[in-house]
Amino acid sequence: MTLPFFPEDLFDADRDVLLDIVERVGCAPEQKFILGERTAEFEAAIRDSVGAADAIACGSGTSALTLVLRAMDVGVGDEVIVPAFGCAPLASAPALLGATPVFADVDPRTMVVDTAAVARLITPRTKVIMPAHMFSVMADMPALRRIATSAGVRLLEDSAVAQGGSLAGTPAGMWGDAGVYSFVQVKTFGMPGEGGMVVTGDLDLGATVRMLRNHGQDGENRFLYHQVGYNSRFDEIMAAFQLHRLPTFPERLARRARIGEYYTGRFGDLAGCGVEPPPATRDGRCYYVYSLLVERREELRDHLATRGIGSHVYYRDALPRQPAFTSYVRPDGAWPGADLAARRSLAIPIYPQLTDQQVEHIADAVCEFAKEL
């Protein structure tokens, strides 16, 4: 049995549909390949699915973050509080706008940003708090919403890995002034290309993002530019493809959740053996990745590999340890939770194509390793 970490047949079942869409869009008389009727329909579908006032399709999840920060007037002299553990765009998006990413430590168990650390880092220069949902766990958005409101700052929710998740009845992406999703291939609602989406309850903010994604161009008057903008436009072929796949998205999410809950049930008593699963609850969970905390991580990786099971280490260093971001690090900065997560986190397969037998095989292998101690 060979089980790669990411499935090798991500879109095989929809191959014929995709080829048909390519032909229909490519041969259509209007020759509209970006930001056409299909993109508008896709935006409306995502908007309505989460109860947003507006949804704006962009070229990637990373550019979606940048566009929202720019729409929030983030620039030189501003600070954006971000998790110290996560993907590079958390820090690079504010940095590229001339702002300073301020790194808040994360909870060593859940790997999401520590709300107490966020509260301590707020200064008069703070413009935005930008939490990110991480692997299997959504950030504590109710607490972060209270902190942002009390401080009078914006809240931007990086929900790139959490589309389809919800916390206390509110969808991921809808706790902040805006949220972003990513459609890169391996995400829960991935597609065969790059893409992202901004969702917001603020129509003015959405209108600014919509203008900025298309070079700052007026929506009604082509070649009238109100601001210096970006090229972050969405592909019509991908919009049609995602519309085709949207009705079955809940089914794929439910399968991921069942696998994740099975793993958590199997691994619940392994903490004393150096293997710790995510906290056991369904509320506030996202199953893009199922990540364990492992004391002997490389040994477990080797153990799984000998049994044909792929695994993945996402971030071997906390963001403030990365050479690209050391110039933003404060002299007194310390991120023990992020450093511990970088040393211990290991993700195992959780994609919906896995059979029950394969899931059991993966769980058996992890338990076998842990109980060898």
Lowest-confidence region among 14-18, 128-132, 267-271, 341-345: 267-271
pTM given for the model = 0.94
pLDDT score, position 151: 97
pLDDT at 324 over 80: yes
Residue-wise pLDDT for 127-157, tens only, equals: 999 999 998 899 999 999 999 999 999 999 9
User: Residue 291: how many CB atoms within 10 A of its CB?
Assistant: 24
Residues 269-274: what's their mean pLDDT? 87
Helix residue ranges per DSSP H, 170-311 = 203-212, 236-245, 249-267, 297-306
β-strand pairing of 166-167 with 154-158: unpaired
The band of 373, judged by pLDDT with boundaries at 50, 70 and 90, is low
Q: What separation in angstroms does the CA of 190 have from each of 37, 61, 167, 216, 249?
A: 21, 11, 21, 27, 10
**Burial class of residue 232, CB neighbours in 10 A (0-12, 13-18, 19+):** buried
Residue 1 has a pLDDT of 67
Instruction: Count how many residues are written for the chain.
Output: 373
d(CA 216, CA 337): 40
Are 227 and 267 in contact by the 8 Å Cβ rule? The answer is no
Q: For residue 209, is pLDDT > 80?
A: yes
| Minimum mean pLDDT range among 75-84, 98-107, 267-276, 353-362 | 267-276
| Per-residue pLDDT at 335 exceeds 70 | yes
Q: How far apart are CA 41 and CA 21, in angstroms?
A: 15
Q: Could you report the per-residue pLDDT of 58-105, keeping only the tens digit for each?
A: 999 999 999 999 999 999 999 999 999 999 999 999 999 999 999 999
Q: Which domains does the chain have, with CATH numbers?
A: 12-247 (3.40.640.10), 248-370 (3.90.1150.10)
Percent above pLDDT 70 for the chain: 99
Residue 60 contacts residue 184 (beta carbons within 8 Å):
yes
